[in-house]
Amino acid sequence: MQLFFLKKSGPQVVLVFIGIIFVLVLLKYNTLNAPFHWDVMGFAVQSAENIYHHGVFIKKTGSTGHPPLFLAILALSWKIFGKSLFVSHFLNIIFGALGLTSLFFFANKLYGIRVAITSFIFLLFNQTFFTQVGIVYLSIPLMFTAILTVYAYIQRKYWLYLVSAISMLLVKETSLVTLGSILLFEIFVSLSKKEKNITILKRTSVLAVPVVPLVAWSLSHYLITGYVFTTGRVFINRGNFLSIFFKNFMKHFIYDSSIENFNRTNWIIFTFVIVFLIGSIKRNLKFEKLFVLIIILNVTLFSLTDDLPRYFLITFPFFLLMGARASVFLTEKVKGKGRIFLLLAIISLYVGLSVMNYSGNRQTDGWRLESNMEYLDMIRLHVKVCEFIQKKHGAARVMTNYPLNIALQKPWYGYVDKPMKVIGFRTLERAENTIIVWSAQSNFGPVVNFMHENIHNLRQIREFFYKGKRVRIFNFAQ
C-alpha cells in the first residue's frame, strides 16, 4: 500500500477517507448539531463570523492574533452550505477524517500495515482526539497539517512540505514548535554526518521558508490592529518551569490524577515506548527521535503558557505512532498466532480504558471539561437553563459571565430562540427585573467576588444539576 498523495493509491485513499468519515459520523452523531461550547463561542466562531461578513484582514478579526486559515475555511463553508451548527461540526469531522487517513498511510509507509491499523485505532479512541473532533477548534485541522508536514519532510517531498507547513502555521502559530523540531532534527542529523556548516545552513533555510507567510500575516495583522497578541496572552506562566514541565509531561503523556481527568490511559503507551526504546538502543531509531523532539518542545512551550488539553493534540499522532510501533515490535516476540491475539489485547485494553474515561462528574471550569466528553453534559445543562430563563424570565436582564453571556445573545449558537438582555458581573444591577446566573464552568474572579459580597442579598429561585455540574439562578432579595 502506498502513500495517499501518490497517484496509484488515490482510489484507496478516497475509499479509506470516505469510510473514516462514515465511522466518525456514526461515533459523533450526537455532536453534529450540539450547541457551541466555551472558546468556540468566545473565539473561533466569532472570528469566523467576522471573516464571513467583512473579510480576513480587517480590524474586527484581530481578537487574539491567531492566523486565519481554518477560520476562513469555516466562513467559506458557511457561504457555500449555510451558516449552521451542522456545517460547522461536519467541517471539523472532515479534518478529523483527514488526520486519521494521513496517519494511517503515514504509518503504513514507515512501519507496515499492523502499525498503521494500531496507530489509527489508538488515535481514533484517544481521549483528546475523540473529544476534540466534536468541537470546532483549531486543534483538529492543526493536527492534520502537522502529520502531513512531518511526513513530507521525512520523504523529502518539498512542495508538499511547503504547502502543508505553510497551512499548519497559518492554522495556528504555536505549530512553530513542530517546524522548529524539524529544523533542529535536520541540524542534528547533518552534524552527525559531519556536513559543512554552509550546507546545513542552506538546507535549514529552505526548510524554514514556510515561516515567511506567517511573518507576513503577523506584520499585516499588527499594522491593522496595533498588536500581534492581546496583552497577557503569551508567556503567562510565573511558576517553577521544571516542576510545571514535569507536571505537564505527566498529565498529558503518562497519567493524570488531577481534577482535569485527562489521559488516564497513556501510561500503557508510555510504558511500551520506553521498553521499546531501551530494547532498541542499538537500532537506528531516526524517526522516533524526531517524534520525541516534537513532544518535548511542545511540553516546553506549554510550560511557559497555558496547557489546555486541546493544545497537545498536535503531538498525539506521533506519540501514539511510537506506541503502535512499540506494541507491534513487542508482540512480534511471541511465536505463531499468539502475537495477533496479544496485539488485539493491547489495543482492546487501551480503547476500553480510554472509553471508560470519556465520562465523569466534575464541577469545574469549561476548558477542563473539554478533556473528555463532559463538555456535552455542561452544554445540556446550559440548554435547560436557557430554556427556563426564556420561558420564565424572558423580559429580564440576565447577569452572568462567559460563556453564557454569549450563548444568551446568539440564537444560532444553539441555546436561545431570541437574544436576551445580558449584563456582566462587574455591573451591579439591583433592579427588580434582573436575575443572576452562576455556572460551575465559569467561576471566574469577578463572579466569585460578586457572589461573596452579595450572598446575603440574593435569593435562589432555581437550581439545575446534572452529572456533578451545577447552575444556580438568583434574584435580588426584596
- The string of pLDDT tens digits covering residues 117-159 is 999 999 999 999 999 999 999 999 999 999 999 999 999 999 9
Higher pLDDT, 42 or 32: 32
Confidence at residue 126, expressed as pLDDT on a 0 to 100 scale:
95
Q: Where are the domains of the chain?
A: 7-356, 373-476
Q: What's the average model confidence in pLDDT over 202-209?
A: 93
pLDDT at 1 over 50: no
Tens digits of per-residue pLDDT, 220-234?
A: 888 877 777 665 555
By mean pLDDT, which of 114-123, 231-240, 372-381, 393-402 is the weakest? 231-240
Q: What's the average model confidence in pLDDT over 313-318?
A: 96
How many whole angstroms separate alpha carbon 413 and alpha carbon 374?
A: 19
Tell me the three cell numbers of residue 477.
432579595
In this prediction, residue 5 has a pLDDT band, given cuts at 50, 70 and 90, of very low
In this prediction, residue 64 has a pLDDT band, given cuts at 50, 70 and 90, of low
Confidence at residue 14, expressed as pLDDT on a 0 to 100 scale:
84
Tell me the three cell numbers of residue 408.
444568551
Confidence at residue 6, expressed as pLDDT on a 0 to 100 scale:
41
Confidence at residue 228, expressed as pLDDT on a 0 to 100 scale:
74
Tell me the three cell numbers of residue 92.
471539523
Tens digits of per-residue pLDDT, 260-302?
A: 888 889 999 999 999 998 887 767 678 899 999 999 999 999 9
User: Cis before residue 35, ω within 30 degrees of 0?
Assistant: no
By mean pLDDT, which of 6-10, 93-97, 110-114 is the weakest? 6-10
State the distance between the two ends of the chain, measured CA to CA, in whole angstroms: 74
Confidence at residue 4, expressed as pLDDT on a 0 to 100 scale:
41
Confidence at residue 87, expressed as pLDDT on a 0 to 100 scale:
97
Confidence at residue 430, expressed as pLDDT on a 0 to 100 scale:
63
Q: Which residue has the cell 444556580?
A: 472
Confidence at residue 234, expressed as pLDDT on a 0 to 100 scale:
58
pTM: 0.92
Q: Give the count of beta carbons closer than 10 Å to the beta carbon of residue 189.
A: 15
In this prediction, residue 22 has a pLDDT band, given cuts at 50, 70 and 90, of very high
Beta pairing, strands 434-439 & 421-423? unpaired
In this prediction, residue 235 has a pLDDT band, given cuts at 50, 70 and 90, of low
Confidence at residue 452, expressed as pLDDT on a 0 to 100 scale:
80
Three-state SS string over the chain comes to CCCCCCHHHHHHHHHHHHHHHHHHHHHCHHHCCCCCCCHHHHHHHHHHHHHHHHCCCCHHHCCCCCCCHHHHHHHHHHHHHCCCHHHHHHHHHHHHHHHHHHHHHHHHHHHCHHHHHHHHHHHHHCHHHHHHCCCCCCHHHHHHHHHHHHHHHHCCCHHHHHHHHHHHHHHCHHHHHHHHHHHHHHHHHHHHCCCCHHHHHHHHHHHCCCHHHHHHHHHHHHHHHCCCCCCCCCCCCCCCHHHHHHHHHHHHHCCCCCCCCCCCCHHHHHHHHHHHHHHCCCCCCHHHHHHHHHHHHHHHHHHHCCCCHHHHHHHHHHHHHHHHHHHHHHHCCCCCCHHHHHHHHHHHHHHHHHHHCCCCCCCCCHHHHCCCCHHHHHHHHHHHHHHHHHHHHCCCEEECCCCHHHHCCCHHHCCCCCCCEEECCCCCCCCCCEEEEEEHHHCCHHHHHHHHHHHHHEEEEEEEEECCEEEEEEEECC
